[in-house]
A and B are shown apart, each in its own frame.
Chain A
Amino acid sequence: MSASASTTEPLLAVKDIRKTFGGLVAVDDFTLELAPGEVVGLIGPNGAGKTTVFNLLTGVYKPDAGSISVRGVDTGWLSPDRITGLGIARTFQNIRLFRDMSVVENVKVGFTPVKRQSILGAVFRSPAFRHEEKEIDREATELLELMGLQDLASARSASLAYGQQRRLEIARALASRPKVLLLDEPAAGANESESADLQQLIRDIRERFDLTILVIEHDMPFVMSLAKRLLVLDHGVTIAQGLPETVREDPKVIEAYLGQEAHQ
Chain B
Amino acid sequence: MDFDKLLNFWGHHLVMAGVWIALALSLNLINGFTGLFSLGHQGFWGVGAYVTAVVLTVLPAEMGWADAGMLSFLMTFPLAMLVAALFGLIVGVPCLRMRGDYLAIATLGFGEIFRNIAINSEWLGTSQGLSVPNVFRAFLQEQIGLERMAARRAEMFFYIALSWAVALLTLLLLRNLMRSAHGRAITAIRDDETAAELLGVNLTRYKVLVFVLGAALAGLAGAVYANYQRYVSPNQFGFMQGVIFLVIVVMGGMGSFSGTILAALLIYAVPVFLTFAPDTWVIPIFYDPTQGGVVHRSLKDLWQVFFSLMLIIVVLLRPQGLMGNREFSLVKLWRRLFGKKSESASTSGEAGA
Contact = CB atoms under 8 A, between A and B. Distances in A.
Interface size class of B (residues with CB under 8 A): 35 or more
Given A98-B187, A109-B196, A159-B350, A136 B173 contact: no
Nearest to B346: A159
Nearest to B174: A123
A122 B180 contact: yes
B200 A85 contact: yes
Interface in A122-155: 122-125, 129, 132-133, 136, 154-155
Contacts of B209: 119
Contact of B198 (A60, A115, A117, A125): A60
B199 A172 contact: yes
B199 A109 contact: yes
Contacts of B325: 100
A227 interface: no
B181 A98 contact: no
A105 interface: yes
Contacts of A160: 349
B351 A161 contact: yes
Interface in B173-231: 173, 176-177, 179-185, 187-188, 190-192, 194-203, 209
A228 interface: no
Contacts of B200: 81, 84-85, 110, 112-113, 176
Contacts of B199: 81, 84, 89, 109-110, 112-113, 172-173, 176
B184 A119 contact: no
Contact of B181 (A117, A159, A176): A117
A108 B350 contact: no
A109 B192 CA distance: 12
Q: How many residues of A sit at the interface, in one of the four size bands?
A: 35 or more
Contact of A98 (B180, B195, B203, B352): B195
Contacts of A96: 192, 194-195
Interface string B313-350: 00000000000010000000000000000010010111
B201 A109 contact: yes
Contact of B185 (A89, A112, A164): A112
Contacts of A58: 198
B305 interface: no
Contact of A161 (B182, B191, B197, B350): B350
Return the 3 tightest CB-CB contacts between A and B, nearest first: A113-B200, A122-B180, A98-B191
10 contacts: A80-B198, A81-B200, A84-B199, A109-B188, A110-B200, A119-B177, A119-B182, A122-B183, A133-B180, A160-B349
Given A81-B201, A100-B325, A101-B191, 18 more contacts: A80-B197, A84-B199, A90-B198, A98-B188, A100-B187, A110-B200, A111-B181, A117-B181, A119-B209, A125-B176, A132-B181, A133-B180, A154-B343, A159-B346, A159-B349, A162-B351, A164-B349, A176-B199
